[in-house]
Amino acid sequence: MSNGPLDDLFGALADPTRRRLLDRLIREGPHTATELAAGSAVSRQAIVKHLQALTAVHLVAAERCGREVRYRATTEPLATVVEWLGGASAAWDRRTERLRRSAT
């Protein structure tokens, strides 16, 4: 059960295989599922399912080129994650500072 886009993003990023695929697409540019599966212990079919999960949260876009589908990273949704993490970090910093002041 999802409570919104942020939960969906964290859910997609929670899987290490998906993070590796996204990282590879960010670093190397577009690839087909076959290229991404080459040399991997993960099957092409499993790679496609992971790419579909990343596509569902708009971290990956699929582009058909003839008979091939090329996947590319679309990192704009990561801004939502970064914003949330920044807010959480600031809240912890404030709490830590209050604890430090109360200990002195």
What is the rounded distance in angstroms from the CA atom of residue 47 to the CA atom of residue 53?
A: 10
Which domains are delineated in the chain? Answer: 5-75 (1.10.10.10)
- Residues with Cβ within 8 Å of 49's Cβ and at least 6 positions away in sequence, in order, are none
Write down the pTM of the prediction.
Answer: 0.81
CB-neighbour burial class of residue 17 (10 A; exposed 0-12, middle 13-18, buried 19+): middle
Q: Return the higher-pLDDT residue of 71 and 98.
A: 71
pLDDT at 51 over 80: yes
